[in-house]
Amino acid sequence: MHGRAGSVRLAGALFALGVVSGAPVSAETPAPPPRPPEAVYAKTCGYCHGQHVAPVIRGRAIPAEMTQAIVRRGQRAMPAFRPTEISNAELKALALWLKASKADPKEHDQ
Amino acid sequence: MTGVTRRDLIRTGAVGAALMGSSAFASPLDGPRQLPAHLDKGVFAAAVAELRAVVGADWVFADPESTLPYAKSSTPDPRHEHVPSGAVAPGTVEEVQAILKIANHYKLPLWTVSTGKNMGYGCATPASSGQMILDLKRMNRIIHIDAELGTALVEPGVTYQDLHDYLEANNLPFWLDVPTVGPIVSPVGNTLERGVGYTPYGDHFFMQCGMEVVLADGTLVRTGMGSVQNSTTWQAFKWGYGPYVDGIFTQSNFGVVTKLGFWLMPKPPAFKPFMVRHNAMGDVAKIVDAMRPFRMSNLIPNVVLMMGAAYQIAMFHRREELWDKPESIPEEVVRSFARKHGLGMWNTYFALYGTDEIIAAIEPIVRRAFEASGGEVLTEKEMGGNLWFEHHKNLMSGQLTLEEKGIMRWRGGGMVCFAPVAPAKGIETQQQTELAKEILGRYGFDYSVAYAIGGRELHHLIFIQYDKEDPAEEKKADDCIREMITRFGARGWASYRTGVNTMDLVAQQYGEANRALNARLKQALDPNHILSPGKQGIA
């Protein structure tokens, strides 16, 4: 329940000092481990694609490069997704998974 | 298969080629990136180098290729006035503070976003070109859920999906209240924009409790009870002591909110969704007058959606299935298509919550009132399995869906929302509907709307759908929303929120004294104007 109690305490300490100096911080925040393509699809793409909203994209052997380009720039009505939302590693894996995927009969076009 | 066409393949190929190198963009206006007008290239490069030292090279985006996703928006921008210069994505509060120090030094303007999916209002794009996006998506920690009090404290990058997954994984008996694009947007961003959802907790800012803000000079402030040493009531009591300041950090550019607290709705023992179907556009006044006492007394406790037929159809169907002409779709065509799918011209969705006994006591009262207004009161018994009924049932019970995003496909990806407030009085909603139809009709756009009904007012959410890839259409959509804002404003009806292309126009309607007060606050808190200049018309 208390995911980052430490950060709360640190923030409290900074507040007690009043103005914080803004000194450069040395440690970069580590990237979280990549999510598997199935999870990225289920929690982002799959809300529209195949759900009466956007076209079915599974089972169509869509070239991986095309998927990557469309995700990053957005395709007409589709929003763009940034590396802060879907990392480059996740996107690469998603594009390959999608290309090799089979159609799901439960999905519907638009 | 209408989605990925040969034309798309060709177009994507061209983009792919462009992505190979920035030289593909001959002019800044051709690409997704523009430098701040007052910074030369060398100064901008120096600022970028310092930002990289803070967050790491992977989290600074300062070339056309990596800026591309930040430039995507469905709102009209015919004069290229909303093109970012790049983006920086901190992972911690300390990194935010370090970034602001650099921005102050270089006078680098930063446009803050949480998840950058402000659909219909500009997504992640800034109010003026050249701003660098301060992308808080990486700050995605659920800091605390209090299972006894039903409160949450989260960072800006947490999505409703993340929170939903957390509640499920920990078997916590709470419902979220989601906006219509819940899975990919954040409670922090939506609450700060004063967005709404559709359960009894639908007024998100009302349910907000405590925030942490980094001011432009790096000062870290906690609002409400959060600044009391060893406080255990930060998410329990909103008002704190002395002036209540949370409001000035919503729809504003006075600070960077890095944590936000809010309340979670206890899962009710019983829930019953309803739809009321009215078959004439002119029924709008009767519906509003029938609904008002129930919302004022809270007998109907949720934020109610009164959905126009054209909007509902656009969720799951394409315009060419109904109408192949450039002019607005005639009402009769919409009515006929709607009827085939179990819809009326107005479809009003509300729910009752509590126990079976409570619902059984309230239902007959509500049913009588809406039947008297000429509506058919429908429940799961009649409508179960209907795509639209199921969608609204999900929204009213805090489930995640993106189905309303389908409306953006109506005319080629362009969509901008005009959102005037109406008092909950039938006559004025009817007048708003008539004025909106008249203006939209002259531009050839369809009346595609949802009214979100609060306690005493309605957000009249009017979606202008257009072809974003046709420059003439884009200009027309921009002209149309400006005319709507101006003419509604002349009647005393102003927007509760607006897209980046019209923030200044709407701010003018709130008057000079209001603007001057905001300007004085801004000058005191951010004298270098580095935080989101132009946000809500505040320079």
CATH number of the domain that residue B150 is part of: 3.30.465.10
DSSP H or E segment with residue B500: none
Structure tokens, B340:
């085939």
Of A11, A79, A84, the CB nearest to B212: A11
CA of A59 to nearest chain B CA: how many angstroms apart? 12
pLDDT over 90 for what percent of chain B? Answer: 93
Pairing of the two strands B346-354 and B270-278: antiparallel
Q: Both B88 and B208 in a single domain?
A: no
Which strands form B110-113's sheet, in the order they lie side by side?
B60-61, B86-88, B132-135, B110-113
Q: Which of B93, B302, B269 is nearest to B196 (CA)?
A: B302
Choose one of B101, B135, B169: the last residue of a domain. Answer: B135
- pLDDT bin (cut points 50, 70, 90) of residue B235 is very high
Pairing of the two strands B174-175 and B265-266: antiparallel
Q: B135-173, pLDDT tens digit by residue?
A: 999 999 999 999 999 999 999 999 999 999 999 999 999
Residue B7 lies in a domain: no
Q: Both B276 and B221 in a single domain?
A: no
What is the rounded average pLDDT of the residues B303-310? Answer: 98
Q: Tell me the C-alpha distance between B282 and B346, whole Å.
A: 9
- pLDDT bin (cut points 50, 70, 90) of residue B11 is very low
pLDDT of residue A62: 98
Contacts of A8 in chain B (CB under 8 A): 143-144
Q: What are the phi and psi torsion angles at B214 (to 5°)?
A: -95, 120
pLDDT of residue B28: 45
Q: Both B361 and B490 in a single domain?
A: yes
Q: Tell me the C-alpha distance between B228 and B278, whole Å.
A: 53
Give domain limits for chain A: 56-105
Q: Tell me the C-alpha distance between A107 and A87, whole Å.
A: 26
Choose one of B135, B163, B183: the last residue of a domain. Answer: B135
User: Which residues have CB under 8 Å from B247's CB, separation 6+?
Assistant: B205
Query: Is residue A86 a contact partner of residue A36, using CB atoms and an 8 Å limit?
Result: no
- Strand residue runs (E) in B424-467: 449-453, 457-467
Contacts of A24 in chain B (CB under 8 A): 50, 53-54, 98
Contacts of A7 in chain B (CB under 8 A): 92-93, 141, 143
H-only helix segments in B122-214: 160-169, 187-192
Nearest chain A alpha carbon to B406: A53
Of A14, A25, A44, the CB nearest to B184: A44
Structure tokens, B187:
């409670």
pLDDT of residue B2: 38
Domain count, chain B: 4
With a cut of 60, say whether residue A4 has pLDDT above it: no
**Cα torsion through A95, A99, A100, A103, rounded to 10:** 110
What one-character DSSP code corresponds to residue A51?
B
Residue B5 lies in a domain: no
- pLDDT bin (cut points 50, 70, 90) of residue B33 is confident
- pLDDT bin (cut points 50, 70, 90) of residue A28 is low
In terms of residue numbers, what domain contains B523? 504-537
pLDDT of residue A52: 87
Residue B436 lies in a domain: yes
Length of chain B: 539
Place of tokens 């009752």: B352
Q: In Å, what is the CA distance from B532 to each residue of B100, B165, B357, B526?
A: 12, 32, 50, 10
What is the rounded average pLDDT of the residues B162-185? Answer: 96
Q: Both B131 and B211 in a single domain?
A: no
Catalytic residue ranges of B: 121, 496-497
pTM of the model: 0.92
Residue of A28 and B295 predicted with greater confidence: B295
Structure tokens, A8:
């709360």
Q: Both B172 and B295 in a single domain?
A: no
What is the rounded average pLDDT of the residues B348-371? Answer: 98
Structure tokens, B491:
């009647």
CA of A87 to nearest chain B CA: how many angstroms apart? 10
Beta bridge partners of B228: none
The most distant pair of C-alpha atoms in chain B lies apart, rounded to whole Å, by 71
- pLDDT bin (cut points 50, 70, 90) of residue B484 is very high
pLDDT of residue A6: 35
Query: Is residue B154 a contact partner of residue B143, using CB atoms and an 8 Å limit?
Result: yes
Q: Both B274 and B249 in a single domain?
A: no
CA of B341 to nearest chain A CA: how many angstroms apart? 14
What is the rounded average pLDDT of the residues B348-364? Answer: 98
Q: Tell me the C-alpha distance between B145 and B431, whole Å.
A: 45
Structure tokens, B445:
């756009």
Q: Tell me the C-alpha distance between B516 and B106, whole Å.
A: 26
Query: Is residue B199 a contact partner of residue B396, using CB atoms and an 8 Å limit?
Result: yes
Q: What are the phi and psi torsion angles at B359 (to 5°)?
A: -65, -40
Contact check, Cβ <8 Å, B218/A20 = yes
Contact check, Cβ <8 Å, B12/A69 = yes
Q: Both B198 and B298 in a single domain?
A: no
Task: Give Cα B296 to chain centroid, integer Å.
Answer: 25
A10-24, B106-120, B150-164, B340-354: which has the minimum mean pLDDT? Answer: A10-24
Count of Cβ atoms closer than 10 Å to residue B374 Cβ: 15
Q: Tell me the C-alpha distance between B417 and B459, whole Å.
A: 11
Mean pLDDT of chain A: 79
Mean pLDDT of chain B: 94
What is the SS3 assignment for B482?
helix
**Cα torsion through B254, B209, B185, B494, rounded to 10:** -60
Structure tokens, B307:
């959905």
Q: Both B88 and B146 in a single domain?
A: no
Contact check, Cβ <8 Å, A4/B16 = no
Count of Cβ atoms closer than 10 Å to residue B486 Cβ: 14
Contacts of A3 in chain B (CB under 8 A): 141-144
Contacts of A25 in chain B (CB under 8 A): 54, 92, 94-95, 98
Q: CATH number for the A56-105 domain, one of 1.10.760.10, 1.20.1070.10, 1.10.3720.10, 3.40.50.2300?
A: 1.10.760.10
DSSP H or E segment with residue B40: none
Burial of B408 (0-12, 13-18, 19+ CB in 10 A): buried
pLDDT of residue B142: 98
Query: Is residue B440 a contact partner of residue B447, using CB atoms and an 8 Å limit?
Result: yes
Q: Both B397 and B510 in a single domain?
A: no
Structure tokens, A41:
């699809």
Q: Which of B25, B30, B94 to mutate to test the interface with A (most CBs of A within 10 A)?
A: B94
pLDDT of residue B30: 53
Nearest chain A alpha carbon to B74: A77
DSSP collapsed to 3 states, B285-337: HHHHHHHHHHHHHCCCCCCEEEEEHHHHHHHHCCHHHCCCCCCCCCHHHHHHH
Q: Both B341 and B463 in a single domain?
A: yes
pLDDT of residue A19: 32
With a cut of 80, say whether residue A15 has pLDDT above it: no
- pLDDT bin (cut points 50, 70, 90) of residue A30 is low
What one-character DSSP code corresponds to residue B267?
P
With a cut of 70, say whether residue B7 has pLDDT above it: no
pLDDT of residue A109: 78
